[in-house]
Amino acid sequence: MATTAASFPTQMGQFLMENVRFSSSDWMLLVSNMIACAFVYYFLRLLKLPDHSWYLTLYSSFVTSFVGLYLFYHVCHDGFTATIDNETDISRYAAIFFIGYCIMDLFLGSIHYENLLTYDDGWTHHFLYIAVCAYLLHDGLTSLFAIALVEEVPILILAFHEVQNKSRPSLLFGILYFLTRIVFHTVLIYKAAQFSNLVFTVGLSLLILHVKEFQRWVRGYLMRSHGRTRMPYRAKLALFCSLLVAHACAHCYAAYDLVFDKYTQPPSSPVVAMHAVIILFFMYRFGVVIHDVYTQNFIMTSIGRKKIIYNISWEDPAVDHNVMHMNDQDTVLTISSAGCNVLDYLCEGPKKIIAVDMNAAQLHTLELKLACIRALKWEEFFDIWGRSNYKVFKSVYESKLRPLLKKETAEFWDDNHNLFRDNFMYAGTSGLMARILCLPLRLSGIRKRVMNRENFDERGGILLWLTLKLCSATFLWSWIAPLGGVPLEQLNLLSRNPHVFVERLIEVLTVRVWKPNNYFYYGYIVGEFAPDCCPRYLEKKNFANLKKRWDRVELFHGTWADAAVRSGPGSITIASLLDSMDWMPAEMIAENISKVVANMDKENGRIFWRSFADRVHSPVLAHLDGTLVPDYDRVGWYLTQFIAPTPENYNPAMIVQQGSGRTFKNSFLGDVSVMLAMAKQGLSKVKDVRAFYKHQGKRYDGFREALLPGREVFMRHVIPWAKEPTTWISVGCGTARDIEFVVGHVKKCKTKVYLCDLSDALLEMARERVEELGLTKQVVLVEGDINSAAVKKKLPKQVDLVTCSYCVTMIPEWKKAMKTMSDLVASGGNLALIDFVEREGRERTWEQRLYKWWFAMDGVFFNKEHREWLLNQKGFKTVWMSEEEGRVPYTPYRPTHYMYCGEKL
């Protein structure tokens, strides 16, 4: 690596001599700048400023920002064209300076901060700018580059903070970045198009990168801004919409100015169409930015500002009762939402209901309902919550309801009388969504027909047809869903089979809406409930029981996991978790489920949950072995509902054990060396697997960390650690990287581990890792082919767990290997695999064929039969099977990998 870095300046010098006409003074400037870069870098290192990878960026951005601001003054004074057309010594110096900076950053970076020198922001960026500056020097157009250096001002601010290891500047950096690298850059490249089409093309490419980087900043800013410094949601939305408009105006002005100034004749239609397409593309990219602002803030902002999201609960409790069999000995843990289901459960008379919510406004809603039950007659209660009768609410609030409320709740309702005045049925964000979606239904006359309990027919006309089409337009879901309190993570569960959800929504509008007593849709379409079409808690016959039981409801502000912990071990008999886990990653589900299971009644406990997915969506939930509930659900949005008893032989503490926490990342040059080894292997007629791995050495893990996705989720959550396996065979263990993800699990379970691999070089690295992790006494290394008799003699006859991580696709006799692995699993034990495969149902598409051919050159053979063999093998029950895509580094390829876990019967 040192040899490569040392030869780099020489190679760049040859490139410049061959492609650029450098004078002796130019050479002196270049060499002087390179020496200056080295001096600045080592001087700042002596000062021991924290982040040395930003030293040269700070130096470069300081010099170039000064030049950029000087030239920007001339642009304002003399105009773009006059400034661009006049190459000066300072503009030529700036280009030479930047070439020297790029060379030295790559040179010193390869020596001192190799792992921080990324492919995109390091090598690609620097080589591109070296080439661009060389071209401009050759053609005498360096003023184009020098004018653009004002775009370095935000980088100077960023570098100043990074060098001191301070928190990144947020809004100031973002606004400056937008004004310089997007608005100014857009105008500049259109002005430059009059001088060079190549510069215009390269400038557009850079603008795409700038917009992507701006989007990354927006996402980071939205995540970082919190607490008192958090910008209000509406202000954020207004700000970024203003930026979108500003860029659109600047882009249209620049394009118009170019097209009608450059061409003496009226522009041709293709030219106009080309620029129109470019403008629309960038407007789309900024639309994505606005989408991020909206979707990443809407729900959490509503929670933070204590705003109601759900005005009614959108889960059908009738299904819950069919499988929960609630009785007076039950303690129920559930989510409050609008309180509808909590009060429905109260009708059944359980001993206690713990109503949990992270949104205080939802708890305030439930508390007000409980106060109404305590203090009012049924007629008044129904008028307020069934008909949103503001007059009745106002007449009883101060005298009867407010004294029963906690201080926070009373203050909330003091400020929110308008929710009843404007009809509580349309309160909150879900109410707003209802207004939008129900408008065409009401205009088409369906409201009257629903009130009259008529059957469905096609008389809705064009407005009903429009509503059905809107439901079919999946691209609109991400905008509408947050209104209904549906996070994008939950919506993404539908991405695999969106047609299934489309069919369900259409079925809802044409069938379920018209079912008797379907109060969910009746209330939204009509605008109020009817005594014979309303939630159970609003029915007169249940009101007396609710009055007797109101004190059995306990409100908890926080997560349901924390509420379970506070309740104590064995205290909960029913956990009704609604659809809350749909948006959680596996790690969060594991953390929450571990707390709930630990505090469930071991004999009588049952866990109930719903999902937008058409199957169990998380391996953590799959290990609960829940039963799919087939009952008809009046809402229809949830494709699946499950109930599971408190699992036996299940240690919840095991699913939250931690790994080593280490990550591995190569530098770009390190990855190149691995890819060269892979290319050599692919082109070689004789595939020497041992030599192939040996030559990759320490870079093996760094490259495969990104190449082989999903391994941490696979090791930590697909494998059923809650069963506490005592013996484990890892087939094709490689460097034993997998064991790092679960080192805590292995130590806690005292699992005996057998690491088996063909390569002695990889096993030697595995040995070093095992020693570092302190697992020497628990691990046995076995070299050889899993199919060989010699290896089988070194392994136990049967074990609790057998795993194989990205290895089967490299085994020629894969059926024999899978059979061997299956035979090694003891009854009740598990076989777990993760590997590449052709996407199910899309095996014959061109991209799947491309991936299959490309990987096959390195001896990795995609084969759909692997998946079919696992799903159809006798004597095994499939616990988990999923498919996901992951990007191959440095390529646009996104091949599919599967995760499988089976239990031997």
- pLDDT tens digits, 241-254: 788 888 888 888 88
Handedness of CA 682, 686, 689, 691 (dihedral sign): negative
Alpha-carbon dihedral angle through residues 554, 559, 562, 566, given to the nearest 10 degrees: 0
Least confident of 4-8, 62-66, 699-703: 4-8
Mean pLDDT of 548-565: 94
CA 663 – CA 763 distance, rounded (Å): 19
Q: What pLDDT band is residue 334 in, cutting at 50, 70 and 90? A: very high
Q: How many CB atoms lie within 10 A of CB 21?
A: 10
Q: What pLDDT band is residue 836 in, cutting at 50, 70 and 90? A: very high
Q: What pLDDT band is residue 762 in, cutting at 50, 70 and 90? A: confident
Annotation: CATH topology of 657-904: Rossmann fold (3.40.50)
Radius of gyration of the chain (CA): 32
The residues facing 832 across adjacent strands are: 803, 901
Structure tokens that stand for 793 in this block: 């003699």
For 874, residues 6+ apart whose C-beta sits below 8 A from its C-beta are: none
* Closest C-alpha among 547, 752, 564, 546 to residue 652: 564
pLDDT in tens, 709-723: 999 999 999 999 999
pLDDT at residue 227, rounded to an integer: 42
Q: What pLDDT band is residue 769 in, cutting at 50, 70 and 90? A: very high
DSSP 328-362: TT-EEEEE-TTSHHHHHHHHH--SEEEEEES-HHH
Handedness of CA 416, 417, 422, 423 (dihedral sign): positive
CA 181 – CA 155 distance, rounded (Å): 10
Q: How many CB atoms lie within 10 A of CB 427?
A: 25
Mean pLDDT of 405-430: 89
> Has residue 438 got a pLDDT over 80?
no
> Has residue 798 got a pLDDT over 70?
yes
Handedness of CA 734, 735, 738, 742 (dihedral sign): positive
Q: What pLDDT band is residue 681 in, cutting at 50, 70 and 90? A: low
End-to-end CA distance of the chain: 53
For 901, residues 6+ apart whose C-beta sits below 8 A from its C-beta are: 619, 622, 718, 719, 720, 830, 831, 832, 878, 879, 880, 881
Residue 433 to residues 303, 388, 436, 477, 494: CA-CA distances in angstroms?
17, 18, 5, 11, 19
pLDDT at residue 228, rounded to an integer: 42
pLDDT in tens, 185-235: 999 888 888 888 888 888 888 888 888 888 888 777 765 544 444 566 567
pLDDT at residue 1, rounded to an integer: 40
pLDDT in tens, 854-892: 898 878 999 999 999 999 999 999 999 999 888 888 888
Angle 229-152-198 from CA coordinates, rounded to 5°: 130
DSSP 840-892: TT-TTSHHHHHHHHHHHTTT----HHHHHHHHH-TTEEEEEEEEEE-PPTTSS
* Closest C-alpha among 10, 99, 5, 117 to residue 60: 99
Most confident stretch, 118-122, 268-272, 495-499, 558-562: 558-562
pLDDT at residue 2, rounded to an integer: 39
pLDDT at residue 300, rounded to an integer: 56
Q: Which phi and psi angles does 628 have, rounded to 5°?
A: -70, 130
pLDDT in tens, 633-656: 888 888 899 999 999 889 999 999
Q: What is the 3-state secondary structure (H, E, C) of 456-487?
A: CCCCCHHHHHHHHHHHHCHHHHHHHHHHHCCC
Least confident of 206-220, 430-444, 762-776, 828-842: 430-444
* Closest C-alpha among 176, 178, 186 to residue 206: 186
> Has residue 623 got a pLDDT over 50?
yes
pLDDT at residue 132, rounded to an integer: 86
Residue 723 to residues 210, 589, 655, 719, 826: CA-CA distances in angstroms?
49, 17, 10, 9, 13
Place of tokens 């034993």: 736
Mean pLDDT of 602-622: 92
Give alpha helix (H) positions in 305-445: 317-324, 340-348, 360-375, 378-385, 390-396, 407-414, 418-421, 428-443
> Has residue 19 got a pLDDT over 70?
no
The arrangement of strands across the sheet holding 553-557 comes to 553-557, 352-357, 331-335, 574-576, 606-611, 640-645, 627-628
Mean pLDDT of 351-378: 95
Alpha-carbon dihedral angle through residues 730, 736, 740, 742, given to the nearest 10 degrees: 0
pLDDT at residue 540, rounded to an integer: 95
> Has residue 352 got a pLDDT over 80?
yes
pLDDT at residue 11, rounded to an integer: 58
> Has residue 687 got a pLDDT over 90?
no
> Has residue 76 got a pLDDT over 80?
yes
Pairing type for strands 574-576 and 627-628 reads unpaired
Most confident stretch, 288-302, 631-645, 703-717, 741-755: 741-755
Most confident stretch, 9-23, 94-108, 151-165, 415-429: 94-108
pLDDT at residue 683, rounded to an integer: 67
364 burial level (CB within 10 Å; 0-12, 13-18, 19+): buried
pLDDT at residue 584, rounded to an integer: 86
pLDDT at residue 265, rounded to an integer: 62
Pairing type for strands 606-611 and 352-357 reads unpaired
Residue 775 and residue 753 in contact, taking contact as beta carbons nearer than 8 Å:
yes
Residue 902 and residue 873 in contact, taking contact as beta carbons nearer than 8 Å:
yes
CA 202 – CA 266 distance, rounded (Å): 26
pLDDT at residue 691, rounded to an integer: 63
Angle between helices 407-414 and 360-375 (to 10 degrees): 90
Most confident stretch, 155-164, 183-192, 551-560: 551-560
For 622, residues 6+ apart whose C-beta sits below 8 A from its C-beta are: 616, 879, 880, 901
Least confident of 210-219, 531-540, 561-570, 620-629: 210-219
Structure tokens that stand for 720 in this block: 């059923």
pLDDT at residue 818, rounded to an integer: 95
CA 246 – CA 175 distance, rounded (Å): 12
> Has residue 542 got a pLDDT over 80?
yes
CA 57 – CA 62 distance, rounded (Å): 8
> Has residue 621 got a pLDDT over 90?
yes
The residues facing 753 across adjacent strands are: 728, 779
830 vs 171, which has greater pLDDT? 830
> Has residue 456 got a pLDDT over 50?
yes
Q: What is the mean pLDDT of the chain?
A: 85
pLDDT at residue 773, rounded to an integer: 94
pLDDT at residue 579, rounded to an integer: 87
366 burial level (CB within 10 Å; 0-12, 13-18, 19+): buried
pLDDT at residue 771, rounded to an integer: 94
**Domain residue ranges in the chain:** 1-169, 188-305, 657-904
pLDDT at residue 676, rounded to an integer: 76
CA 219 – CA 221 distance, rounded (Å): 5
- Report the SS3 class of residue 624: coil
> Has residue 472 got a pLDDT over 80?
no
CA 611 – CA 658 distance, rounded (Å): 27
pLDDT at residue 116, rounded to an integer: 79
